[in-house]
Amino acid sequence: MFNFYRIAAASLLSAMIVACGPLPAAKGCAFGSVTRLYLGRDTPAGALTEGQWEQFIAETVTPRFPDGFTVLDAQGQWRAADGSVRKEATRVIEVVHSDDPRTRARVRAVAVDYQHRFAQQSVLVSTSPTYQCMDFSGA
């Protein structure tokens, strides 16, 4: 029963949001996106070095996202074409941004550059819509 009420409440809230229209823009708030790029660190030449990573950040990511981004260390797992499960050290770059064609092109350029520069089979790019309120005042 409890799950039924949770589902019903979530459905009602969703319906109310749709019926009422978009949220009003509060000061410092806007609709946008959060994009995460999942970058495996194994290359045909061996593991990516810190120097290679820092050079990639300086030459590719920072110029495209000078307002900022976050880098997270992760451990990735994926299924290879032969069916085997592979694990590798991964870095995740997270960017909060406006959702427009120019920004999406910058995200794509980062992924393509990484894929070519380090001979990667693929780069996972995940983008989610968000209503973001940001305040860097420290309050």
pLDDT in tens, 100-131: 999 999 999 999 999 999 999 889 999 999 88
93 and 71 Cβ atoms separated by less than 8 Å: yes
Burial string for 112-131 (b: 16+ CB within 10 Å, else e) reads: ebbeeebebeebeeebeeee
Third-level CATH fold of 29-131? Alpha-Beta Plaits (3.30.70)
pLDDT for residue 31: 86
Report CA torsion sign: 11, 99, 137, 67: positive
Beta strands 70-79; 46-47: pairing state: unpaired
pLDDT for residue 1: 43
pTM of the model: 0.75
pLDDT for residue 5: 43
63 and 131 Cβ atoms separated by less than 8 Å: no
**How many other C-beta atoms can be found within 10 angstroms of the C-beta atom of residue 39?**
24
pLDDT for residue 136: 64
Q: Mean pLDDT of residues grouped by 10 in the chain (139 residues)?
A: 44 43 60 94 94 98 96 93 94 93 96 97 93 69
pLDDT for residue 12: 41
Per DSSP, the three-state class of 68 is coil
Alpha carbons 40 and 90: distance in angstroms, whole number: 4
Q: Which run of H or E residues covers position 127?
A: strand 124-133
Q: Which run of H or E residues covers position 33?
A: strand 29-40
